[in-house]
Structure 1
Amino acid sequence: MSKGRAIRRIVVLYDNIEDLISENDRRCDGDGDDNATPEQDRLQVRYIALNNALPWFHRRATDLEYEEYIHMLKKIRQGADSARGDDTSKLKGLVSEWVNRELKPDPPLDREDKHCHGFVSDACGRLLCPTEMDWNNPNVRAGIRDRTDGHIVTEMSWPSFLYLGYTADANNLEEGLFKSKLLIQAYKAIFTSPSSAKEVAGDGDGANIIEHNKRAKKDMFGKKVKTHVAQIINMQKVTPRSIAYVSCQLQFALSSVTSWRSIDGDFDYVQFWNNVVDFFEKAPGRVARCNVDRLLVWWTRYVIYHVKTSSTKLCLPYNI
Structure 2
Amino acid sequence: MNSSTSYSLTLIMAQPARKKPRLKSALTKRINAQRINSPSPSLSPPSPPQISSRTRTPASSSHIQISTASNSSQTNTQPQARRAQTFAHEDPQQQERRERRKKRKYEEFVKEVAAEYEAEYKSYKTLLPYQQIGLYAPRCLSLYQNMAAILNAGLARETRQMKARTRSLQALNEESNNDDESDLDEDDLAERTHLLTIYDKIASTFPSIIERLLESVNYDDTETYNIIINVIDQAFSEARRNDTSRLKTEILRFIPNVFQTYSDALPNMNEVIVLDPPCLCDAKSDRGVNHPMITMLFCPFRKTRDALLRNNATHRETILDSLMSHDIPLTADDLPMFLYDLHKFDSKNKWGGLLRGHLLILICRCILLGPGAAFAPRQRSARKPTSVLLGITQSSPELIAYVAVQARFALSSRSSWTRSDSKFKFDRFYLNILSIFAHASDRWKESLFKFWNRECFHDIPNTAEAPANDSELASLFTESSTPEDDDSEDDDNQQGAAYRGVNEGGGDNENGGNGNGGDSEDDGGQVNGGDGYIDEGDNFYNDGVGGDE
1:146 aligns with 2:325: yes
Shift of 1:187: 0.2
1:10 aligns with 2:140: yes
2:288–2:294 contact (8 Å) kept in structure 1:
yes
Aligned residue runs from structure 1 range 279-298, under 5 A:
279-280=436-437, 282-284=438-440, 288-298=441-451
TM value normalised by structure 2: 0.48
Aligned residue runs from structure 1 range 298-313, under 5 A:
298-306=451-459, 308=461
Shift of 1:115: 0.7
TM value normalised by structure 1: 0.79
Tell me, in whole angstroms, the C-alpha distance in 2 between the residues paired with 1:157 and 1:53.
34
1:176 aligns with 2:328: no
Aligned residue runs from structure 1 range 81-160, under 5 A:
81-101=237-257, 102=260, 103=272, 104-134=274-304, 135=307, 137-148=316-327, 151-160=328-337
1:230–1:236 contact (8 Å) kept in structure 2:
yes
Query: What does residue 411 of structure 2 align with?
Result: 254
- Which residue identity is paired with 2:401? A
1:100–1:109 contact (8 Å) kept in structure 2:
no
1:47 aligns with 2:47: no
- Which residue identity is paired with 1:304? F
Aligned residue runs from structure 1 range 142-291, under 5 A:
142-148=321-327, 151-165=328-342, 168-199=345-376, 208-209=379-380, 227-280=384-437, 282-284=438-440, 288-291=441-444
Tell me, in whole angstroms, the C-alpha distance in 2 between the residues paired with 1:62 and 1:26.
9
1:192–1:230 contact (8 Å) kept in structure 2:
yes
- Which residue identity is paired with 1:267? F
Tell me, in whole angstroms, the C-alpha distance in 2 between the residues paired with 1:193 and 1:262.
26
Please give the per-residue CA displacement for 1:187-241, whole angstroms capped at 9, x wherever unaligned: 00111122221227xxxxx5x45xx6xxx6xxxxxxxxx7011111112211111
Shift of 1:186: 0.5
Q: 2:211 aligns with which of 59, 67, 87?
A: 59
2:396–2:449 contact (8 Å) kept in structure 1:
yes
1:126–1:249 distance in 2 versus 1, CA, 3 Å: same
1:163–1:176 contact (8 Å) kept in structure 2:
yes
Aligned residues: 283
- Which residue identity is paired with 2:283? D
1:271–1:166 distance in 2 versus 1, CA, 3 Å: farther
Shift of 1:269: 1.1
Query: What does residue 9 of structure 2 align with?
Result: none
Q: Which has the higher helix share?
A: 1
Deviates more, 1:298-307 or 1:30-39: 30-39
Tell me, in whole angstroms, the C-alpha distance in 1 between the residues paired with 2:320 and 2:240.
31
Shift of 1:181: 1.5
Q: 1:78 aligns with which of 234, 237, 260?
A: 234
1:256–1:34 distance in 2 versus 1, CA, 3 Å: closer
Shift of 1:25: 5.5
1:267–1:290 distance in 2 versus 1, CA, 3 Å: same
Please give the per-residue CA displacement for 1:37-62, whole angstroms capped at 9, x wherever unaligned: 43333222222233344333321211
1:50–1:42 distance in 2 versus 1, CA, 3 Å: same
1:122–1:246 distance in 2 versus 1, CA, 3 Å: same
1:11–1:53 contact (8 Å) kept in structure 2:
no
Deviates more, 1:69-78 or 1:105-114: 105-114
- SS of the aligned residue for 2:427 comes to helix
1:23–1:146 distance in 2 versus 1, CA, 3 Å: farther
1:258–1:93 distance in 2 versus 1, CA, 3 Å: same
Tell me, in whole angstroms, the C-alpha distance in 2 between the residues paired with 1:17 and 1:238.
21
Tell me, in whole angstroms, the C-alpha distance in 2 between the residues paired with 1:273 and 1:49.
19
- Which residue identity is paired with 1:303? C
Tell me, in whole angstroms, the C-alpha distance in 1 between the residues paired with 2:334 and 2:353.
15
* Runs of 5+ unmatched residues, structure 2: 1-130, 161-175, 261-271, 309-315, 466-549
1:166–1:180 contact (8 Å) kept in structure 2:
no
